[in-house]
Amino acid sequence: MGLALLLLLTVSATAPSTTAARRAATACPPIHRTAAGVWEATPTTAPWQWQLQGRIDTSVPACVFDVDGFETPRATVAALHRSGRVAICYLDVGSWESYRPDAKRFPRSVIGRRYEGFPDERWLDIDHFHRFAPILEHRFRLCARKGFDAIEPDNLAGFENRTGFPLTAADQLRFNRWVAARVHALGLAVALKNDPQQVSALLPRFDFAIVEQCFQYDECGSYKPFVAAGKAIFEAEYELEPSDYCNGAKSLDFSAIRKSYDLFAQPWEPC
């Protein structure tokens, strides 16, 4: 599903930690990087945090934070790094969001059907992504300038949806591979967001995966090749209780959390 959200609250630098005990609980292991300096996201069951709205709460005891690329300032990324955390930059690449500062730069010809459940979001014609590629590359550079370690490019499975365009699986593979190549060119790691049908074809190009509701929809098995290849899976559920999936997540070596659809700092329920 899409996670482009109307950011009514401005994300600011950091929220103060609530207690010394909570700060101590966030002692993070060393961050492993390749010889080229790219973050190596290896399999883990340690909890992550996904916050796309509100003031970033760095007191949450997670070592990987996924936050909005536009709204999160460089100072917040630096604060996360000072405490030994990894910072992932959330960007939408497969759909158009009306409230983004670069929204008017997209040609009308590539803006398609409304994304169900998100009135301010429409699908993009990724078969003709060259028409908006410079806009996406500018977004990727924004993440790099802010010091992020990786990018979460959202909506990489438009071909499965009613977009208003006759997209094919081949169109999606071409676009997703281009996204991965451009992110890697900036020295950042890149996540495959959902797209379970194309995991085997895209596994060599993506460094880890971010997955929604794979336990609810019985899709988690599709992502096991990532773990087998030594790459992390960061998974989120919205409707199931942790008792319904945490044992399964641990057995698969997935990092799983329970969140609400609006993706504020709370609720946050780790396994």
Q: In this predicted structure, which of 18-22, 153-157, 260-264 has the lowest mean pLDDT?
A: 18-22
pLDDT at site 9? 37
Distance CA 62, CA 60 (A): 6
Phi-psi region of 218 (alpha: psi -120 to 50; beta: other; left: phi over 0): left
* Percentage of the chain modeled with pLDDT above 90: 87
Nearest alpha-carbon partner for 60 in 77, 41, 85, 40 = 85
Across all residues in the chain, what is the average pLDDT? 92
Q: In this predicted structure, which of 19-23, 132-136, 197-201 has the lowest mean pLDDT?
A: 19-23
- Using only C-alpha atoms, the chain has a radius of gyration, in whole angstroms, of 17
* Percentage of the chain modeled with pLDDT above 70: 90
Contact between 89 and 144 under an 8 Å Cβ cutoff? The reply is: no
pLDDT at site 116? 92
pLDDT at site 27? 81
Is the predicted pLDDT of residue 185 greater than 80, yes or no? yes
pLDDT at site 248? 98
Phi-psi region of 154 (alpha: psi -120 to 50; beta: other; left: phi over 0): beta
**pLDDT tens string 5-57:** 434 333 333 443 333 334 434 689 899 999 888 999 999 999 999 999 999 99
Within 13 A of 48's CA, how many CA atoms are on the CB side?
26
pLDDT at site 26? 65
